[in-house]
Amino acid sequence: MGMSYTNPDPEPERTTGLEPGGGVPPGETPPAESSMPGAGPLETHNPTKGWGKGPLTAILGLVLLVAAGFLAYALALIF
User: b vs e for 62-72, b when ≥16 Cβ sit within 10 Å of the residue's Cβ?
Assistant: eeeeeeeeeee
How many residues can be counted in the chain?
79
pLDDT band, residue 51 (cuts 50/70/90): confident
Q: Of 5-14, 20-29, 43-52, which range is least confident?
A: 5-14
pLDDT at res. 50? 73
pLDDT band, residue 4 (cuts 50/70/90): confident
62 has pLDDT over 70: yes
- Inter-CA distances, 1 with 4, 5, 7, Å: 9, 13, 19
Global model pTM greater than 0.75: no
Q: Chain-wide mean pLDDT for the chain?
A: 76
Distance of CA 11 to the CA centre of its chain: 40
Q: Do the Cβ atoms of 17 and 25 come closer than 8 Å?
A: yes
